[in-house]
Structures are given as C-alpha cells and as structure tokens.
Amino acid sequence: MGELGSLLTRAREARGLTLEDAERDTRISRRYLQALEAEQFEVIPAPVYARGFLRSYSQYLGLDPQETLAMFPREDDPEYQRAADASASPPRPSPDRPVSPVSASRPTWRSTPAPAPQPPGQRPAGQRPAPSGRPAPMQTRRQEPAETYEPVIGVDIGVSSPARRIKTDPAAQTRSMVIAIVAIAAVIGVVLLAYIISSLGGDDTTPGTGSTPDASGGQTTTTAGGDTTPATGDDQPSGLDVTPGIVPDLIGVQEDVARRAIGEAGYVVSEFREPNSQPKGTVINQSPAPDVEYASGSTVRIVISEGP
C-alpha cells in the first residue's frame, strides 16, 4: 500500500467508518473503494472513473481532493506510459534497467494491450481462398477498442462528509444515571431535614404567665411552662377602678399594677412580652377588651413591652 492508499485508509478509520458505511453513503461499489485504498487501480474500468471515485471519496472523508488527485498517477508521465504498456507484473530491476524513484513511489495503471494486427498477405485461420479469376472480396475489419470499459454511474457525486460517529459507552451511561439518582436523593434529604428542624423548633413567642388565687386567698402567677410563683403586691391595692366580674382597663399601666388589678377583678393573668416603643414593663395590649363582663376565674391576657 502506497502513500495515497494509506492516507485514505487512515482518514476512514479516524472517522470510525467501515467500507460498508462508505459504500452506502457514497453509492460507490465497495470493490472500487478497496481498490483505491489498496492502489489497485486496474480493478476500476478507466482512469477517468478512478479519478472521479477518488475525488468523491476524498470529499466524503474530509480530505482535499486536489491533494489526493496530485498523488494519483498521471497519464502523461513517461513512467506511467511504460507501466501501462507493460504486463500485469512489474518488470524486475536489473543492473542495466534500475527502477526509477518515480515509478517506485507512484502507483501505476495496468492496461489490457490491444490485439496485434494480422501480417499482410496472411489469411486468417479457417478462411478459404477465393476461386481463380475472381477477385477476392474485400474484408472489412472491425476496429476493436484497446480496452473494454465498464459503465459506472455515480462518479463525482459530491457527497457531504459524514458526521463523526461517536461510540457510546454503556458503563458511562450507567455512571451518569447513578450520579443523577444520588443527586436527587440528596436534594430530597435536605428538604426533609429542613422540614423536620422547622417542625421541632417550637414557638418562639415568649411564654406567658398567669396568676391564680391560692388557698390563702392570695394570687399566684403561672407561666406558660407550668411554673407557679406567688404574685407580688397582693396586700397592696392596684389603685385602679376595679369591679369584680368586669375586665379592667390595663393599657398603659405597669405590669405589677396590671397583675394586681386582674387579681382584684377575680381573673387569672397570662403575660406575653414583645419589643415595643413603649417603656419596658408597660402593658401595650390586652384581651378581652376593657369594661367587658367576664366569668370569674377566666384568663386575661396582657402584652408587656420589652422596650425599644
């Protein structure tokens, strides 16, 4: 295999193509494609077809047709003429006729020699002589072509270069699928963890406190956690206008005064604290509203300012 055949073979194998693929895409017979790669140009009917096949095959493989055609043997080359007139087997080199570098590196075209003409005066075998006294009829000899060419369709079809065929790896596809599944599972786990943390976080509201009368008639303060502490100042009046069974007006008063007033009205206090512009310890809201009849022993909720 010479330089031209090696170039075509390497270009086809680099694209991951087989001769069957090239035959299907270019519409050129596989036998002729093999002849181009093996530089056995005598398989192709004529040089004009061989050049056309070479041009189309080069375009299909992404090669420069001018470059490959320049490597094709030329008919006007003396070495090519001598090779075309020679027999199928190349002459052996001898001391008086060495092989030239041109003929050694360039592929040659094998041609079928034309039949030798009949010598003058010699009759073809099997032809009877004409009777004496009568001129022999003139034999018209049909000129036979020197070579018999096989009609070929599809020369220089100008097919486009095929896209490089990428062979997929099943193991790589499996790895990609596993990575995707792990990523999805990780995202779901993060979402579930965030939901559990938010559910167990509880209420951030400051626990309220309440006061209930004890056995001695005093008041006790109960927090949201269940702890009870005696209410301070039970022996001191609140100083507010308190009517038992009526919710007193506690907005704007201090928390200790509000506790005593709630106890005087017969209710249990529940406290909540939050930041506010009012001074620290001032009642900023209450429930139920003031001056509302409320069952004795019920809980009155007050919101106390923690200060700005």
The answer to whether the beta carbons of residues 83 and 62 sit under 8 Å apart is no
Mean of per-residue pLDDT scores for the chain: 72
Instruction: Identify the pLDDT of residue 68.
Output: 86
The DSSP call for residue 178 is: H
What is 3-87+101-105's CATH number, 3.60.110.10, 1.20.58.2030, 3.30.530.50, 1.10.260.40? Answer: 1.10.260.40
What is 209-305's CATH number, 3.30.1330.10, 3.40.190.10, 3.40.718.10, 3.30.10.20? Answer: 3.30.10.20
Identity of the residue numbered 131:
P
Q: What is the mean pLDDT of residues 106-113?
A: 49
Instruction: Identify the pLDDT of residue 20.
Output: 92
Q: Is the pLDDT of residue 194 over 80?
A: yes
Q: Is the pLDDT of residue 163 over 70?
A: no
Instruction: Identify the pLDDT of residue 134.
Output: 53
Q: Do domains 3-87+101-105 and 209-305 have the same CATH topology?
A: no
Q: Is the pLDDT of residue 222 over 90?
A: no
In this structure, of 54-63, 199-208, 220-229, 294-303, the range with the lowest mean pLDDT score is 220-229
User: What letters, b where the CB count within 10 A reaches 16 and e where it falls short, cover 91-106?
Assistant: eeeeeeeeeeeebeeb
Domain boundaries, the chain: 3-87+101-105, 209-305
Q: Is the pLDDT of residue 57 over 50?
A: yes
Model-wide pTM > 0.85 = no
pLDDT band at 183 (very low <50, low <70, confident <90, very high): very high
Instruction: Identify the pLDDT of residue 175.
Output: 87
Helix axes 30-38, 47-60, angle to 10 degrees: 90
Q: Is the pLDDT of residue 229 over 50?
A: no
Q: Is the pLDDT of residue 224 over 60?
A: no
**Which among 285, 253, 252, 247 has a CA at the least distance from the CA of 268?**
247
